[in-house]
Structure 1
């Protein structure tokens, strides 16, 4: 089924969650640091219809972000959906990691069951049916706090989420995941390991789904300059009604998870598979998402030129055109990776080499577009008065007579949001850093054939 935005929000308001902002527990989803994330996730429901496929699993249309992709056309449709979301929200839609988890757990558990004769895939399909029938919003948590990076998990167990007790009816997990985008506003949080493990580290090799009824989970929100502005109020001072790229730390304090929501347990190969699938899926869609973000920046740059009376300056217009070129290049990589992808146990995944290249190129495109936007906009995006000062400063802020001072300040604040929010850091590290993608590429690339071509060319 497909929910309406208001139905998602109504369901979410019925959950009891331990959410903390500035050290204080928040009971209301209308809190100024929480509501923007809820509104962003609700928007995924607003435009879902035109992208929604028919699911044979439940016999009806479902949200594209809850669907197992079986062809490259499925992947392309997903990338188009996410590009539009990034453009229209100018922030994270928060459901992409959930989709990546679904499309990583599906093939990993199917292969695991075929190898070991287990029933993890059957459990996952039952969970997926529930997700699709109810149009649940899903996210995924991978990043452990890690502690001393020079030590293995066994040397610092408290820094990695792990199983602390195995029962007849389920498991008990303990630990924390950090940098989790929008987890507090989701119906289902898939939990995956942050890395692969060695023999003897099986207690960390677990994949499961956490739901609102699970006791012992705390969500501790980040605090950024944008979020401080949200708490100060105003109609547009924070820049974007859908907020910063809101993340949180998720603490699991001896949380019981029933076996029917455990999908990988103490299997090191399945853990490697699910992480490989997730990383490639997320890095590839990240290129499509960044294309949408750059589209938003290009629109802001064009409006900034117009409100400042600079739309006739060709050198600046060329910078806007360059931003569009960055966007199309990033999106093209994701489409190419989809077409050149392959079937893994019934799930179509993007080409791994191109997906990881998409991460590298996508981040580079995002950073360069942001530099162009800052260059075009001038210093005012870092020095302007607030919207509360409009009565005193408005006459001085107005530029082009075609636009009011308030209109100009709105676009200034929107660009200030892009320049000073956590988006660049999120674009850089979400799904792993460019360095992590390059490490993966080193293992995937066929350098020998490249060297051989050069040898033949120069009679080496």
Structure 2
């Protein structure tokens, strides 16, 4: 099929998928008053391939074929850098909200390519061929993809086999000649309401006793038995004046239920090879945290820009404390950018020449971003002022009795009237205080792995032998 238009993408998700929103089944996700915002936001990925400004970055040409750069299997550090640049550009166009309908799915596909060959070599399975066939299907048809990895988990202190309910981790409940039957639920599955295909991965290391939980597969979202319960968070109606970033932007999150779902063997990429569950889980994370730090770049840029804008409008741009906060914000953002670029530059290839970003630097970048994010919000909110949460609405400026008074009394430095300043405040409020800002703040801590997960990966990825040997040499200690 080749590259699709935005309208072809939208038409492709008009099907019989089972989606629930606030207790009601959704007949058409493309016309639902809330979910359609996520659909049109996701269409950005398809718009960019048609836009002359972004086409060279967004499209790969190989021979006579063209396809989305997201599907380019990284074969060099330059491929990783261009992937990061595309993610950053798309997120900037999305007003700080990542698009994610190709980014996350290709993260999973790259990991599956790297690990499935190892599984085949040990168990004489046929997984790599299946992964390659599915990858080609997605690339050549320019499909939108989601990934379901995080199980609902139940008792977090117990493994899959020791739960009070056997389905707290997604599992195989039947093996048939033509495929498997799967039961369970995954949570925090982004974009699932408005993609074509869903990739399911293990969420953790598994023991032999957990082998029925060690599975990876892909299915169309409208497969019978797949039920998507969409989160209503951030779904209240908004005006462009009050919420200039999020009024027309949305990412849907779902609890994805597998109610005895049949998966044919050619869509199964792991079925019981428990000793490779961790490798697939971590292999996906290795790519997806790199995606994460790439899409955080427009967000931290927006925080700097918001602080600069409000400092100017409030007439405090030259204040010493504002200068100090701005230096902190710039250092925070540019350290993230440098670490993200270095993660690509330090990337290495496997035996098949598939490159992955450097795990140590990627996790350092993600930890740096998440650990300091709320301090960044504090500085921006301090510079902006309390009107972030106490300002008037657009209707008050339209009212002839109050409009001119508000324009007068809510103004800032010379030349800035109250309506202009309120518009700026509303943008900063949308970014840092409302449900959109809250979504960003929670994602900073939990999305793509928690702070503790990032610290663990930094510890694992760092090779301490070099520095330990150097310290011994300095101390005159013989090896």
Indicate the residue corresponding to 2:161 in structure 1. Answer: 154
**Equivalent-residue separation in structure 2 for 1:314 and 1:8 (angstroms):** 51
Number of aligned residue pairs:
454
- C-alpha change, 1:144 and 1:68, in structure 2 (3 Å) is same
| 1:116 equivalent in alignment to 2:123 | yes
**Equivalent-residue separation in structure 1 for 2:326 and 2:106 (angstroms):** 32
**Equivalent-residue separation in structure 2 for 1:223 and 1:412 (angstroms):** 25
**Equivalent-residue separation in structure 1 for 2:355 and 2:432 (angstroms):** 36
Indicate the residue corresponding to 2:52 in structure 1. Answer: none
Structure 1 residue 93, shift from structure 2 partner: 1.4
Structure 1 residue 85, shift from structure 2 partner: 2.2
Structure 1 spans left out of the alignment, 5+ residues: none
Q: Pick the aligned partner of 2:461 from 426, 436, 444.
A: 444
- C-alpha change, 1:42 and 1:379, in structure 2 (3 Å) is same
**Equivalent-residue separation in structure 1 for 2:158 and 2:110 (angstroms):** 31
| 1:227 equivalent in alignment to 2:235 | yes
Structure 1 residue 214, shift from structure 2 partner: 0.3
**Equivalent-residue separation in structure 2 for 1:23 and 1:398 (angstroms):** 44
**Equivalent-residue separation in structure 1 for 2:295 and 2:106 (angstroms):** 14
Indicate the residue corresponding to 1:215 in structure 2. Answer: 224
3-state SS of paired residue (1:201): helix
**Equivalent-residue separation in structure 2 for 1:201 and 1:325 (angstroms):** 45
Structure 1 residue 193, shift from structure 2 partner: 0.9
- RMSD over aligned Cα atoms: 2.4
CA contact (8 A) 2:60 2:69 kept: no
TM-score w.r.t. length of structure 2: 0.88
Structure 2 spans left out of the alignment, 5+ residues: 50-54
- C-alpha change, 1:293 and 1:109, in structure 2 (3 Å) is same
CA contact (8 A) 2:145 2:195 kept: yes
Bigger radius of gyration? 2
| 1:360 equivalent in alignment to 2:367 | yes
Structure 1 residue 366, shift from structure 2 partner: 3.3
| 1:419 equivalent in alignment to 2:420 | no
Structure 1 residue 75, shift from structure 2 partner: 0.6
**Equivalent-residue separation in structure 1 for 2:427 and 2:379 (angstroms):** 15
CA contact (8 A) 1:145 1:178 kept: yes
Indicate the residue corresponding to 1:74 in structure 2. Answer: 79
**Equivalent-residue separation in structure 2 for 1:220 and 1:242 (angstroms):** 21
More displaced, 60-69 or 443-452? 443-452
- C-alpha change, 1:149 and 1:212, in structure 2 (3 Å) is closer
CA contact (8 A) 2:41 2:250 kept: no
**Equivalent-residue separation in structure 1 for 2:448 and 2:154 (angstroms):** 19
Indicate the residue corresponding to 1:373 in structure 2. Answer: 380
Structure 1 residue 243, shift from structure 2 partner: 3.2
Structure 1 residue 144, shift from structure 2 partner: 0.6
Residues 231-242 of structure 1 aligned to structure 2 (within 5 Å): 233-240=238-245, 241-242=247-248
- C-alpha change, 1:314 and 1:26, in structure 2 (3 Å) is farther
**Equivalent-residue separation in structure 1 for 2:303 and 2:38 (angstroms):** 20
Structure 1 residue 427, shift from structure 2 partner: 1.9
- C-alpha change, 1:15 and 1:154, in structure 2 (3 Å) is same
Residues 300-315 of structure 1 aligned to structure 2 (within 5 Å): 300-311=306-317, 313=319, 315=321
